[in-house]
């Protein structure tokens, strides 16, 4: 906060003019040393001002800090009309101020976070403090308010506020050394203030009730509070609401995350959250909040501190280190909990309609909106109906009967509301239904009929890849004969009922080839390593494209020729999944084969059992395959038997 102990000077649109016309936030007393004095406030003053403003050349009537009535005119004093001239001459406390041209607005009436304001004691309007609006807010009753820092109120002494002229604020190009400011609009009355502990006590480290927050009730009906924060890029236009960041939620600061602040002195600056969940001694008062390395300065106090579109803090204090600036912000959620029910105003996106008109009777009007909000919907200017918006931001409600309807809809959440969306919906008879092929179907080889259901007696018209008509029979069905080969198709259907064309329905389907035949490897095959398949082979549709994957990796491609196809495979051990795909006219079908190949046999030996021995098995004797030995032994046995028979025969012959 910047302390200003001098009178707030009139500049641009003057403080005295605006404040007097918007509620006399700087009251003055009439001088008493002359008998004829004009009233400076109340109903009499208002009546005089209203009458004087009907005179040519009189542009404004106000009171100043000296207790005088000031008549602002574009004409010299001696050129005033009789009524105005008589009023000036007849009262000792009336002065004339000649201005170059009629007054023009120098500031918009939208109030946004980051804008500057002057807080003062209405009983002593000279001294005051310069601070920044934090966030637009709602009172517990739902009236406009704003949130700022508690220390901006001088422990509640400064209880009235007015907006400052953006071009006079340092962030808008004003002289940072000049504490005299121009005011634009009377703004608000103080409703709650706490700096440090409850009752503006010093507070204590570790005590969550130690904070720095003020809540102000906006009293000027000409102003509109917006749930947005200015980025100060449009200060030259004196309308800070022309370029803003919407505030969509309130949350807790995330350490190491990017963070931004907006205030009247250093404007729009960004940095990083350095630490969270701590306390700082801010000019002798303990404040719970978080630390950042964002640039700030006097007058930025109370300004908005946010991450993305989430409000997280109120600028409380700052200092510097060798590495750069340090800014401390009061934790916003904690601060709000002390205010007795004040809440930050949030920006809600206007609802969007996603359904396309015309709609079929019985279908739904659909759209998107802020998640978990309520859609307020009015049909043809009737009473509002609540439609819930789910957690994913979707909403829907049933379309009425056949006809054309006008709707308005806006989103609401708490006291927050979005802009209104207006839309028109034409409701026509329901669309016919496709039963075969249904939307998304994949039919093998061919389609010979398209069929569905509809209104009895209606004429169904098909367009798209099939053009035809059919009449809905007494059983509520319709069909047309077709001859559709392998390809992708899209067919749209409408039905005409009593001369009204219905909504449309579309079936997008595909006719796909048969799956390729895989002859090798065999499905579920178990192969010895020596017999591992070295090729995948099979049959398919002539000239169809064949592609394969083996355990998800590309295994090659070929084309069916003379009804057959073949792809090489690498012989190796393991479990395999082979997927073979056949493609015709961009449409595909696949066959999956799983098989296993045993590990290659091992050789070698030794008393240790050899490298290939299983734990606990007998030692490898070196006989890797006993089959040849068995065969040899069998042959020797047979030969021995034969010799024995010969010997016996010979012996028998010699007897």
pLDDT, tens only, 248-273? 999 999 999 999 999 999 999 999 99
**Distance, CA of 261 to chain centre:** 20
- Are residues 323 and 229 both part of a single domain? yes
241 and 195 within one domain: yes
Could you tell me if 277 and 320 lie in one domain? yes
* Tens digits of residue pLDDT in 301-329: 999 999 999 999 999 999 999 999 999 99
Q: What is the CATH number of the domain that holds 539?
A: 2.60.40.10
pLDDT band at 35 (very low <50, low <70, confident <90, very high): low
Any bridge partners for residue 447, and if so which? 484
Measured CA distances, 508 to 437, 440, 448, 469, 514 (Å): 8, 6, 16, 18, 19
Residue 346 corresponds to which tokens in the numbers above? 């949030």
Is residue 502 predicted with pLDDT exceeding 90? yes
Write down the mean pLDDT value for the chain: 86
At residue 78, what are phi and psi to the nearest 5 degrees? -75, -5
Residue 220 buriedness (CB in 10 A; 0-12 / 13-18 / 19+)? buried
Residue 93 lies in a domain: yes
Read off the pLDDT of each residue in 200-216 and give the average, rounded to a whole number. 96
311 forms beta bridges with 250, 306
Quote the pLDDT of residue 500: 92
pLDDT band of residue 603 (cuts 50, 70, 90) is: low
Quote the pLDDT of residue 289. 97
pLDDT confidence band for 223 (50 / 70 / 90) = very high
Q: Evaluate if residue 649 carries a pLDDT over 50.
A: no
Q: 68: domain range? A: 2-98
Scan for tokens 């099939």, then name that residue.
466
pLDDT for position 16: 34
Q: Could you tell me if 497 and 563 lie in one domain?
A: no
Q: What is the pLDDT of residue 154?
A: 96
State whether 278 and 340 are in the same domain: yes
pLDDT at 374: 98
Residue 247 lies in a domain: yes
State whether 279 and 225 are in the same domain: yes
Q: In sequence order, which ranges of 234-352 are alpha helices (DSSP H)?
A: 332-336
In this predicted structure, the answer to whether residue 536 has a pLDDT above a threshold of 50 is yes
Percent of the chain with pLDDT over 70: 85
Q: How does strand 500-501 pair with strand 2-4?
A: unpaired
Burial of 434 (0-12, 13-18, 19+ CB in 10 A): buried
Has residue 354 got a pLDDT over 70? yes
For 316-333, letters b (16+ CB in 10 Å) and e give bbbeeeeeebbbbbbbbe
Which residue is listed with tokens 């669309």?
431
Of 557, 580, 597, the one marking the end of a domain is: 597
pLDDT at res. 542: 96
User: Residue 27: pLDDT above 90?
Assistant: no
Kindly state the average pLDDT of the residues 86-110.
78
Reported confidence tier of residue 42, pLDDT bands at 50, 70, 90: confident
Q: Enter the DSSP assignment of 653.
A: H
Alpha-carbon Rg for the chain, nearest whole angstrom, is 44
pLDDT exceeds 80 at position 614: no
pLDDT above 50: residue 165: yes
Question: What are the Cα distances from residue 172, in Å, to 113, 168, 263?
Answer: 15, 6, 10
CATH number at residue 199: 2.40.10.10
Sheet holding 69-73, edge to edge: 58-63, 69-73, 94-98
125-129, 440-444, 492-496: range with lowest mean pLDDT = 125-129
C-alpha atoms less than 13 angstroms from C-alpha of 422 in its C-beta half-sphere: 3
Q: Terminal CA-to-CA distance of the chain, rounded, Å?
A: 142
- List, for residues 80-95, the tens digit of each pLDDT value: 878 888 898 889 999 9
Bond before 521 cis per omega within 30 degrees = yes
Task: Note the pLDDT of residue 318.
Answer: 94
* pLDDT value of residue 1: 56
Average pLDDT over residues 198-219: 96
Residue 248 lies in a domain: yes
Buried-exposed string 352-388: b where 16+ CB fall within 10 A, e elsewhere: ebeeebbbbbebebbbbbbeebbbbbbbeeeeeeebe
Q: Token match 């009458």: residue?
A: 51
Cis peptide leading into residue 358 (ω within 30°): yes
Q: How do strand 477-484 and strand 447-453 relate by DSSP bridges?
A: antiparallel
166 band by pLDDT with thresholds 50, 70 and 90? very high
Q: How many domains does the chain have?
A: 5
pLDDT of residue 127: 85
User: How far is 463 from 468, CA to CA, in rounded Å?
Assistant: 7
283 shares a domain with 192: yes
pLDDT digit string (tens) for 421-434? 999 999 999 999 99
The secondary structure element, H or E, covering residue 486 is none
* Angle (nearest 5°) at CA 162 between 75 and 233: 90
Rounded mean pLDDT, 69-75: 87
Domain end, chosen from 563, 580, 597, is at 597
Where does a domain end: 39, 68, 98?
Answer: 98
What is the per-residue pLDDT for 615?
A: 36
Threshold 0.85, pTM exceeds: no
Model pLDDT, residue 625: 42
Residue 617 in domain: no
Better pLDDT: 265 or 12: 265
Q: What's the confidence (pLDDT) of residue 630?
A: 37
- Classify residue 619: in a domain, yes or no: no
Q: Does pLDDT of 472 surpass 80?
A: yes
Domain-located, residue 612: no
Nearest one of 268, 270, 266, 283 to 176, comparing CA atoms: 266
Q: For residues 83 and 95, what is the distance between their CA atoms, to the nearest angstrom? A: 15
- Quick one: which of 191, 208, 100 has its CA closest to 153? 191
pLDDT score of 148: 98
> Does residue 90 form part of some domain?
yes
pLDDT score of 393 more than 50: yes
Alpha carbons within 13 angstroms on the beta-carbon side of residue 138 total: 15
Pair of tokens at residue 617: 């098995």
Q: Is residue 427 left, alpha or beta, with left meaning phi > 0 and alpha meaning psi from -120 to 50?
A: beta
Question: Is 347 within 8 Å of 246 (Cβ atoms)?
Answer: yes
Number of Cβ within 10 Å of residue 272's Cβ equals 13
130, 237: one domain? yes
Residue by residue, DSSP assigns 560-586 as -BTTEEEEE----SEEEEEEEEEEETT
Flag whether 655 is in a domain. Answer: no
Answer yes or no: is pLDDT of 605 > 70: no
User: What's the whole-number mean pLDDT along residues 556-572?
Assistant: 95
Task: Judge whether residue 246 has pLDDT over 80.
Answer: yes
**Which residues share a beta bridge with 349?**
none
- 643 phi/psi in degrees, rounded to 5: -65, -40
Same domain as 526, residue 437: no
549-571 mean pLDDT: 95
| DSSP code at position 201 | B
Query: How much is the pLDDT for 8?
Result: 34
For residues 300 and 152, membership in a common domain is answered with yes
Question: Any idea which of 19-28, 215-224, 522-531, 606-615 has the lowest mean pLDDT?
Answer: 19-28
What distance in Å separates the CA atoms of residue 492 and residue 460, rounded to the nearest whole number? 10
How far is 216 from 188, CA to CA, in rounded Å? 6
Say if residue 126 is in the same domain as residue 202.
yes
Whether residues 144 and 15 fall in one domain: no
């Amino acid at each position: 906060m910047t302390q200003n102990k001098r009178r707030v000077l009139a500049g641009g649109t003057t403080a005295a003019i605006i404040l007097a016309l918007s509620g006399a936030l700087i009251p003055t007393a009439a001088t008493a040393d002359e008998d004829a004095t004009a009233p400076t406030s109340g109903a009499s003053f208002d009546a005089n001002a209203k009458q004087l403003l009907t005179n040519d050349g009189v542009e404004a009537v106000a009171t100043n800090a000296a207790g005088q009535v000031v008549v602002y005119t574009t004409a010299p004093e001696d050129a005033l009309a009789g009524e105005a001239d008589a009023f000036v001459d007849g009262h000792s406390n009336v002065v004339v101020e000649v201005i170059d041209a009629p007054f023009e607005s120098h500031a918009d009436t939208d109030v946004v976070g980051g804008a500057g304001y002057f807080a003062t004691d209405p009983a002593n309007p000279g001294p005051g403090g310069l601070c920044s609006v934090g966030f637009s807010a709602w009172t517990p009753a739902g009236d406009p308010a704003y949130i700022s820092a508690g220390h901006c109120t001088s422990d509640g002494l400064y209880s009235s506020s007015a907006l400052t002229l953006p071009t006079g604020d340092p962030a808008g190009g004003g002289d940072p050394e000049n504490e005299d400011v121009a005011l634009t609009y009377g703004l608000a009355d103080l409703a709650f203030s706490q700096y440090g502990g409850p009752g503006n006590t010093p507070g204590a480290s570790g005590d969550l009730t130690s904070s720095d927050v003020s809540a102000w009730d906006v009293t000027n009906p000409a102003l509109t509070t917006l749930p947005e924060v200015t980025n100060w890029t449009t200060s030259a236009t004196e309308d800070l609401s022309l370029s803003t960041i919407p505030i969509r939620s309130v949350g807790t600061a995330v350490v190491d995350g990017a963070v931004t602040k907006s205030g009247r002195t250093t404007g729009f600056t960004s940095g990083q959250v350095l630490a969270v969940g701590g306390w700082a001694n801010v000019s002798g008062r303990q404040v719970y909040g978080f630390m950042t390395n964002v640039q700030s300065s006097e007058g930025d106090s109370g300004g908005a501190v946010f991450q993305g579109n989430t409000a997280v803090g109120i600028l409380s204090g700052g200092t510097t280190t060798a590495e750069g600036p340090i800014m401390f912000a009061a934790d916003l959620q904690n601060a709000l909990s002390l205010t007795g029910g004040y809440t930050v105003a949030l920006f809600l996106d206007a609802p969007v309609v996603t359904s396309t008109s015309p709609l079929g009777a019985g279908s739904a009007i659909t759209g998107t909106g802020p998640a978990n909000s309520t859609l307020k919907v009015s049909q043809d200017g009737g009473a509002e109906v609540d439609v819930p918006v789910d957690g994913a931001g979707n909403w829907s409600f049933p379309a009425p009967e056949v006809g054309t309807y006008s709707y308005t809809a806006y989103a609401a959440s708490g006291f927050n509301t979005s802009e209104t969306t207006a839309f028109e919906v034409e409701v026509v008879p329901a669309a016919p239904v496709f039963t075969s092929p249904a939307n998304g179907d994949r039919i093998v080889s061919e389609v010979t009929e398209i069929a569905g259901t509809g209104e009895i007696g209606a004429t169904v018209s098909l367009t798209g890849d099939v053009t035809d008509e059919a009449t809905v029979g007494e059983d509520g069905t319709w069909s047309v004969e077709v001859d559709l080969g392998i390809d992708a198709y899209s067919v749209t259907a409408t039905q005409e009922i009593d001369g009204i064309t219905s909504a449309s329905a579309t079936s997008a389907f595909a006719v796909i080839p048969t799956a390729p035949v895989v002859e090798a490897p065999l499905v579920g095959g178990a192969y010895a390593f020596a017999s591992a398949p070295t090729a995948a082979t099979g049959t398919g549709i002539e000239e169809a494209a064949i592609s394969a994957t083996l355990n998800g990796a590309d295994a090659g491609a070929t084309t069916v020729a003379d009804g057959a196809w073949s792809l090489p495979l690498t012989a190796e051990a393991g479990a395999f999944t082979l997927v073979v795909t056949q493609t015709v006219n961009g449409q595909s079908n696949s066959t999956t084969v799983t098989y296993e190949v045993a590990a290659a046999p091992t050789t070698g030996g030794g008393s240790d059992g050899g490298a290939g021995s299983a734990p606990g098995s007998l030692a490898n004797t070196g006989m890797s395959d006993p089959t040849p030995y068995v065969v040899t032994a069998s042959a020797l046995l047979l030969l021995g038997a034969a010799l024995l028979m010969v010997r016996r025969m010979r012996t028998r012959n010699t007897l």
